[in-house]
Structure 1
Amino acid sequence: MTDTGSLNLQWSQAMIAGFVAAGITDAVISPGSRSTPLALAMLRQPRLRCHVAIDERSAAFFGLGIAKAQRRPALLLATSGTAPANWLPAIIEASHSGVPLIAISADRPPELQACGANQTVNQSAMFAPHMRASHALGAPHPGFDPGYLHRLAAQIHEQASWPYPGPVHINQPFREPLLPVAPAVGDDIPARLQAAHARPQPDAQQIAELAKHLSGRPGVMVCGEMPANPGQNAALAELASRLACPILAEPLSGLRFGPHDRSHVCVGYNRWLDAGAAHAFLKPEWILRFGAFPATRNLQNYVSGNAAMHIVVDPWPRWIDPSRQITHLLRADPTAFCQDLLRKKLEPAADGWLAAFSAQEKRAMQDREPDHIAAVLDALPAETALFIGNSLAIRQLDSLSGHADKTLHLYANRGASGIDGNISTAAGIASAKGRTVALIGDLTCQHDIGGLALTRGLDIVIVTVNNGGGGIFDYLPQHSLPEFIKGWRTPQEVDFEHAALAFGLSYQCAQSTSGLHSALGHALSSGGAHLIELKQL
């Protein structure tokens, strides 16, 4: 007869073995008592890399960063009560940005629910609106079939990964005692369940019709945030070349940096699209969009205010049309769409169309002054991961990044665009990919100051731009309010040097863009965890 503690561990080991068989390599554990069986199963599984994070909110964003970089689910584990509730911001971000996560909350058994038992809340539907799927499991029972848990893990892995990546919740109750009397056995990894997912293919009839509408007419391609895939940049660039149209490419599109053809890529649009009459003649007859809706207001307005034909190509079952302008929606892989369209007869737009955009781009780039965005990008070695904070940081990057043949991997939390958890997310990316630089604002850094604890042992540099609070609000209508400084700009008095030293990071202060370039170069060459404060007060 198996004791309850050993039963709990055997059940947990079977579940974790199923996740490992499905391809999961990383778990983020927040310590707790009720989650002990699963924590033991994770920590004793040699094929699972375990990260321990005390703060569940930081832990969830750390897992988000790992999953974002690896493009496969990471496991989260927390104990019962309010602990898993701290995952909510990261769960929302994962849901909106299409990042696979598997969140496992331990729980009290049914007999302790709704009776005033300590540390017990209704956890089963805690994240329901944001989940791809939820599984409320029963407590482990004698004689269970490990194959059930193996295949459940495979099912959950698929639900988190396809067709629209996102979070899945498992609520797992355990009865006491939680510790086994003797070590559990039978921890073998099962054979991987073979699952094949075809890429969404464009409809042949729609491709033929679109070829006729796009060919020879002035139009633009707009590329927002989208996952990188082999051959995608080359296919998009070739289509733009055949149609003689510009690609208005946001930083997170992946089109600004790399060895692909960038001759049609426009990156300075935020510097001239707000010029009114200066772009009044750049009226496209069609707009072809890939990825997320644009992040910056000028490009949003341009997309919303133009084109009788508005085509969105998106493989995920989501609706990206805040301007309510879509006329054609294709559920298709972007690379496959471009390749199919390129097989059709396509005529370029008139000679002056692309030239007009190129002229605007040339003027915008000539007007650039030295700035901290250029200093950061210039200092980064090829293949570096760059995480960009929200609010002002992502908008400055969009306007000022330029483009280059150096390959960089850009990340941001643009699903819900929060400033929470940015350091933790960057740390997760560094854990998965290695050398990572995060460029964030001072309020963003303060908001996730506890995330610095997760940088220990990582090759990561956090660049904090200290401009005295919420600089993004200087560009918003709230700036005119008499309560602006107190209620929106909110300058803080955080000593970032002390914060860095408290969490074991080296610290440097830069007073200029040249100083930032030098400090970043030194930090990258020396390796390890660093915090650089750029003062713009």
Structure 2
Amino acid sequence: MFSSKKNILQVVALLKAYDIKHIVLSPGSRNAPLIETICGEAYFKTYSIVDERSAAFFALGLIQKRSTAVAICCTSGSALTNYAPAVSEAFYQKLPLVVISADRPPAWIGQMDGQTIPQRGFFGSLVRKSIQLPEIHQQEDEWFCNRLINEALTASTYRGLGPVHINIPISEPLFDFSVQDLPKARRIESIKLSTPTLSEDFGKLWTGATKRMLLFGQMPPAKRTQEYAELLAKESGCLVLKEHLSNISTALAIANFDAILAEATEEEQRNLAPDFLITMGGHIVSKRIKQFLRKHPPRIHCNVCDDGQIVDLFQCLSHTLETDDIASFLQKLYLIENPTRPQTKYFAQLWQEASTRVKKNIADGFSPLQALSCFAQHLPPNAAVQVANSSSVRNLQHFSLAASNLVYCNRGVSGIEGSLSTALGYASQCSDLCFLVIGDLSFFYDLNALFTSYLQNNFRILLINNGGGGIFNSIEGLENTQSLEQYIVARHSNTAKDIALAAGLTYLSANDNVQLEQNMRSFVSPSHQKAVLLEVVLKK
């Protein structure tokens, strides 16, 4: 049986119509009619997570793995505010997160009624669409409600991806579950006919350039995109740069460009600078490549994106190309000129030579880099890697991974919160092993994620515990601040053993390289019956 509230019935019926199957629910009384109606429809796959902040990040992991929209649902009041970090991450990572919040009727907002805040439009510019539904009393209300929900759900995936917010005022009585069937709610179809086309002028600019660079940011895996990137590198002489988060696994792409630029002289940097740059995907981790391209701007910079927004990261943007089909765009580039003139290949060869010269042995002693070097050497094929922000995502870039290892990170806003929850959501949808590489502050920040019912034996946590935010010790200028250790590094002496055991994990630790090597072998083994945490305890 379903709620008698017609606005709730419209929401749930349209979630089903839009094939939004996975919904993460957090408990409450105001959203109880929503929960009961969702759980009463066998189509939905539901998850119960009490902490709304953790629940929302868990949903991001579901989206990353399933490549489909996921909904979250909470009660009224401060519950909604806990979604904010994940909503902002979803907005900048372009993940279709559907936020559904129950609310008091508008008449009671600001009247000192319990569990009440102004929820309408709460997320402001951090969502692609925000709507407040009417309570339905007549036929026109139902039409209006249906239209608004269609607008929101369409906005989550049309001309780009991103979060949307549906706020639902619900008057008492709340608990009338007398409706036997969901309504046949109207879904308004949005059809996009455009395909990427390249003008003749753009083609001439491309074929006339001799120092051509393709730079991939954070992306989900895409086989055709990788194939055409490889063809452009192999046969057209294009330089392809990638990070782990690009999930472009061709051996012809250069991944150690940050290290190359760190060692390059000023003259070498001028020679390495492109004259035609094409960027694709989301955020780029490397600060050094950003500084390099701002200092040595290409004559032409084309950013390929799915929403047509102007993103001038390197302060030299000349073209924005709107498409959600990057592979077809790369195919057209390839077909413009194949093969290119031989002399255009010298630029990629210059980078390849620099790549082979760059220092390889960066891991020294018992350190975070040595821990990640050991991890990369033992990482099984086909395993997914979730990596937390700050030092973890930067340090992992120093080491090669297998082509079958997909890598994810909450790089939209690059916050340290929610990495554990996101990884847990991703792992819940996997049969292969899923690893999380995380620092101590990020781990302890998100501990509630461990106390859910979704810990599986395929989940592995590599915790690099150096007793604080070690990255701040490497930032020039901070070494002279009196507040560094206590307030910026946030120095501590906590370890994760008791927490891991309380959460039901198998706990391993390493205090030196011998223990690291021994326990890493056990850590990566698929034979464990429980999730495993390996804590690398470094000197504070």
Indicate yes or no: 2:253 matched with 1:269.
no
* TM-fit CA distance, 1:419: 0.3
Name the residue aligned to 1:212. Answer: 207
Amino-acid identity (%): 26
- Runs (5+) with no aligned partner, structure 1: none
Q: Deviations over 1:139-176 (max 9, x none)?
A: 24366887876665444322111212111111101111
Q: Distance in 1 between matches of 2:27 and 2:448?
A: 16
Q: Deviations over 1:155-210 (max 9, x none)?
A: 43221112121111111011112112x54211367687654434651333344233
Classify 1:527/1:141 alpha carbon distance in 2 versus 1 (closer, same or farther; 3 Å).
farther
CA contact 1:221–1:240 (8 Å) conserved in 2: no
Name the residue aligned to 1:503. Answer: 503
Indicate yes or no: 2:398 matched with 1:410.
no
CA contact 1:427–1:455 (8 Å) conserved in 2: no
Name the residue aligned to 2:532. Answer: 530
Name the residue aligned to 2:517. Answer: 514
* TM-fit CA distance, 1:50: 0.8
Name the residue aligned to 1:30. Answer: 26
The match for 2:329 among 330, 337, 340 is 337
Q: Deviations over 1:70-90 (max 9, x none)?
A: 222111111111110111111
* TM-fit CA distance, 1:379: 3.2
Q: Distance in 2 between matches of 1:403 and 1:32?
A: 44
CA contact 1:207–1:341 (8 Å) conserved in 2: no
Deviates more, 1:158-167 or 1:448-457: 448-457
Equivalence map 1:252-401=2 (5 Å): 252-255=245-248, 257=249, 261-263=250-252, 265-277=253-265, 279-280=268-269, 281-306=271-296, 307-332=298-323, 333-345=325-337, 346-350=340-344, 352-364=346-358, 366-369=360-363, 371-398=370-397, 400-401=398-399
Secondary structure of the residue aligned to 2:168 is: strand
Q: Distance in 1 between matches of 2:505 and 2:119?
A: 37
TM-score, normalising length from structure 1?
Answer: 0.90
Classify 1:293/1:83 alpha carbon distance in 2 versus 1 (closer, same or farther; 3 Å).
closer
Indicate yes or no: 2:459 matched with 1:428.
no
Q: Distance in 1 between matches of 2:217 and 2:494?
A: 34
Classify 1:320/1:510 alpha carbon distance in 2 versus 1 (closer, same or farther; 3 Å).
farther
Classify 1:248/1:144 alpha carbon distance in 2 versus 1 (closer, same or farther; 3 Å).
same
- Runs (5+) with no aligned partner, structure 2: 365-369
The match for 1:224 among 193, 217, 225 is 217
Q: Distance in 2 between matches of 1:351 and 1:132?
A: 42
Name the residue aligned to 1:482. Answer: 482
Classify 1:119/1:373 alpha carbon distance in 2 versus 1 (closer, same or farther; 3 Å).
same
Q: Distance in 2 between matches of 1:150 and 1:18?
A: 8
CA contact 2:206–2:276 (8 Å) conserved in 1: no
* TM-fit CA distance, 1:516: 4.9
Which amino acid in structure 2 is aligned with residue 241 of structure 1?
Answer: K
Equivalence map 1:54-93=2 (5 Å): 54-93=50-89
Classify 1:45/1:114 alpha carbon distance in 2 versus 1 (closer, same or farther; 3 Å).
same
Secondary structure of the residue aligned to 2:428 is: helix
TM-score, normalising length from structure 2?
Answer: 0.90
* TM-fit CA distance, 1:13: 3.6
Which amino acid in structure 1 is aligned with residue 502 of structure 2?
Answer: A
Name the residue aligned to 1:247. Answer: 240
* TM-fit CA distance, 1:486: 1.5
Q: Distance in 2 between matches of 1:291 and 1:494?
A: 38
CA contact 2:310–2:320 (8 Å) conserved in 1: no
Which amino acid in structure 1 is aligned with residue 522 of structure 2?
Answer: A
Name the residue aligned to 2:181. Answer: 186
CA contact 1:202–1:336 (8 Å) conserved in 2: no
Q: Distance in 2 between matches of 1:244 and 1:137?
A: 54
* TM-fit CA distance, 1:519: 3.3
Q: Distance in 1 between matches of 2:475 and 2:359?
A: 25
Q: Deviations over 1:441-466 (max 9, x none)?
A: 00000111111123634231111100
Q: Deviations over 1:338-396 (max 9, x none)?
A: 11111112324455433332222223364354833233334333332211100001111
CA contact 2:22–2:44 (8 Å) conserved in 1: yes
CA contact 2:278–2:303 (8 Å) conserved in 1: yes
Name the residue aligned to 2:367. Answer: none
Secondary structure of the residue aligned to 1:272 is: helix
Secondary structure of the residue aligned to 2:524 is: helix
Equivalence map 1:102-117=2 (5 Å): 102-117=98-113
* TM-fit CA distance, 1:291: 1.9
Q: Distance in 1 between matches of 2:345 and 2:150?
A: 53
CA contact 1:28–1:77 (8 Å) conserved in 2: yes
Deviates more, 1:479-488 or 1:412-421: 479-488
* TM-fit CA distance, 1:29: 0.8
Which amino acid in structure 1 is aligned with residue 468 of structure 2?
Answer: G
CA contact 1:465–1:534 (8 Å) conserved in 2: yes
Which amino acid in structure 2 is aligned with residue 294 of structure 1?
Answer: I
CA contact 1:427–1:454 (8 Å) conserved in 2: no
Which amino acid in structure 1 is aligned with residue 380 of structure 2?
Answer: P
Which amino acid in structure 2 is aligned with residue 521 of structure 1?
Answer: V
Q: Distance in 2 between matches of 1:88 and 1:168?
A: 12
Name the residue aligned to 1:451. Answer: 449
Which amino acid in structure 2 is aligned with residue 287 of structure 1?
Answer: L
Name the residue aligned to 1:460. Answer: 459
Secondary structure of the residue aligned to 1:432 is: coil
Q: Deviations over 1:216-240 (max 9, x none)?
A: x123221111233340001111112
Q: Distance in 2 between matches of 1:269 and 1:493?
A: 36
CA contact 2:290–2:313 (8 Å) conserved in 1: no
Classify 1:409/1:130 alpha carbon distance in 2 versus 1 (closer, same or farther; 3 Å).
same
Count of residue pairs the alignment pairs up: 522
**Coordinate RMSD, CA, aligned:** 2.6
CA contact 2:263–2:358 (8 Å) conserved in 1: no
Q: Distance in 2 between matches of 1:516 and 1:248?
A: 34
